Amino acid sequence: MSDSRPIALDAMGGDHAPHEIVAGAVHAVRERGLSVVLVGAPRVLYEALADHDATKEVPIVRAEEALEMNEGALASLRRPRSSIAIACHLVRRGDASAVVSAGSTAGIVATGRLRLKAQQGVLRPAIAVALPTRPTPALLLDAGANAEVKPEMLVQFAHLGAAYAELAHGIEDPRVGLLTIGSEPEKGNKLVKRAHELLQGSPGLTFAGNVEGHDLLAGKVDVITTDGFTGNVALKTMEGAVRYAFDELRETLSESRLARLGAAMQRSRVRELRRRLDAEAYGGAVLLGLNGTVVIAHGSSKAQGISAACKLAADLSAGGIVSGIADRIAATHRSHRLW
């Protein structure tokens, strides 16, 4: 890690803030060798750090306010001194390399856009989520930052995701799929039909064509571009369906004594699998396209999830995700000028 600047960790966002956030910071520092600064109410954070005997290992930056989990986009305007706003400010000033927050997604997106601003040429920042495909994760974006988009934005989302896939998953020429309702180019609504045409001509992009809902976890492509409405519905549907399948299975397995015996044998393996499918292990979603890296951890994150999110933020930042995106966006613009 060449970047010695710390991760700015929003200590006040998330269902288990601040204690699990603080525990996550301590884990990230001690077990992963990362540099982390906690942003939030100093007294509470100091006490929480003292519980871990870590007051000297993790610095605190004061933030007087915090966004509530149910506060949306507007709160980011009303609260310029919130912990997430201060965390963004640290990155903006160059005092931190990246932001991590488990707070309300709408609040993080709005605050990030307001404080860090979109990168030059980026129409809309988007949320990328890594799906547990093999051998490498597939990136779904936009997973919810933009409910209403234009076809050009879907092309940019593809570039944002491609830059992420190259950097974080080491994939050369990531294959990009467009989420729609049929494999033929003319399948879908007006938005995706036009996006299909644009994607075909976009320089530096390996467009693999349309993908459908059942392809999301099939590992056919490395990046899946979609609008934030469809992407969010698909992501939550997927989470709900996996949970449903496991719940049904547990019920089925507990119905007979013989089956119960088998289930006992397998419990640990099933638990292991479930953890792998759990978004928390992946360190959360990333808000791409801003002048700074912002990782959005699950609201329900505990220490392990927060620590993984800090690692992801550090890796993306050290790998130069922001400049990687800038290069791609600039290349698209140059090519547009040529034509």
Q: Which residues bind its own copies (CB under 8 A)?
A: 72, 106, 144, 147-148, 179-182, 184, 188-190, 192, 212-218, 228-230, 232-246, 248-249, 252-253, 255-256, 258-259, 261-266, 269-270, 272-273, 276-277
By beta-carbon proximity to its own copies, the closer residue of 95 and 184 is 184
By beta-carbon proximity to its own copies, the closer residue of 225 and 332 is 225
Q: Minimum distance from CB of 104 to its own copies (Å)?
A: 10
Taking a C-beta distance cutoff of 8 angstroms, is the pair 324, 166 a contact? yes
Q: Give me the sheet containing 126-131, strands edge to edge.
A: 60-62, 36-40, 7-10, 98-101, 293-296, 285-288, 126-131, 138-141, 223-225, 175-179, 206-211
By beta-carbon proximity to its own copies, the closer residue of 9 and 279 is 279
By beta-carbon proximity to its own copies, the closer residue of 59 and 219 is 219
Q: How far apart are CA 208 and CA 235, in angstroms?
A: 21
Q: How far apart are CA 9 and CA 84, in angstroms?
A: 8
Q: Are strands 98-101 and 7-10 parallel, antiparallel or unpaired?
A: parallel
Q: Minimum distance from CB of 161 to its own copies (Å)?
A: 17
By beta-carbon proximity to its own copies, the closer residue of 93 and 190 is 190
Q: Are strands 285-288 and 126-131 parallel, antiparallel or unpaired?
A: antiparallel
Q: Minimum distance from CB of 234 to its own copies (Å)?
A: 5
Instruction: Dig out the tokens for 13 from the structure.
Output: 């966002």
Q: Minimum distance from CB of 30 to its own copies (Å)?
A: 31
By beta-carbon proximity to its own copies, the closer residue of 241 and 330 is 241
Q: Minimum distance from CB of 244 to its own copies (Å)?
A: 4
By beta-carbon proximity to its own copies, the closer residue of 4 and 70 is 70
By beta-carbon proximity to its own copies, the closer residue of 46 and 246 is 246
By beta-carbon proximity to its own copies, the closer residue of 119 and 146 is 146
Q: Minimum distance from CB of 281 to its own copies (Å)?
A: 14
Which segments of the chain does DSSP mark as H helices, in order? Answer: 19-32, 42-51, 75-78, 83-92, 105-116, 151-169, 190-200, 228-253, 257-277, 303-319, 321-338
CB atoms within 10 A of CB 55: 15
- Residue reference for tokens 């525990």: 23
Q: Minimum distance from CB of 7 to its own copies (Å)?
A: 28
Within the chain, what is the greatest distance between any pair of CA atoms? Answer: 71
Q: Minimum distance from CB of 157 to its own copies (Å)?
A: 16
Taking a C-beta distance cutoff of 8 angstroms, is the pair 306, 21 a contact? yes
Taking a C-beta distance cutoff of 8 angstroms, is the pair 79, 57 a contact? no
DSSP code for 6: P
Q: Counting every residue, how long is the chain?
A: 339
Q: Minimum distance from CB of 114 to its own copies (Å)?
A: 19
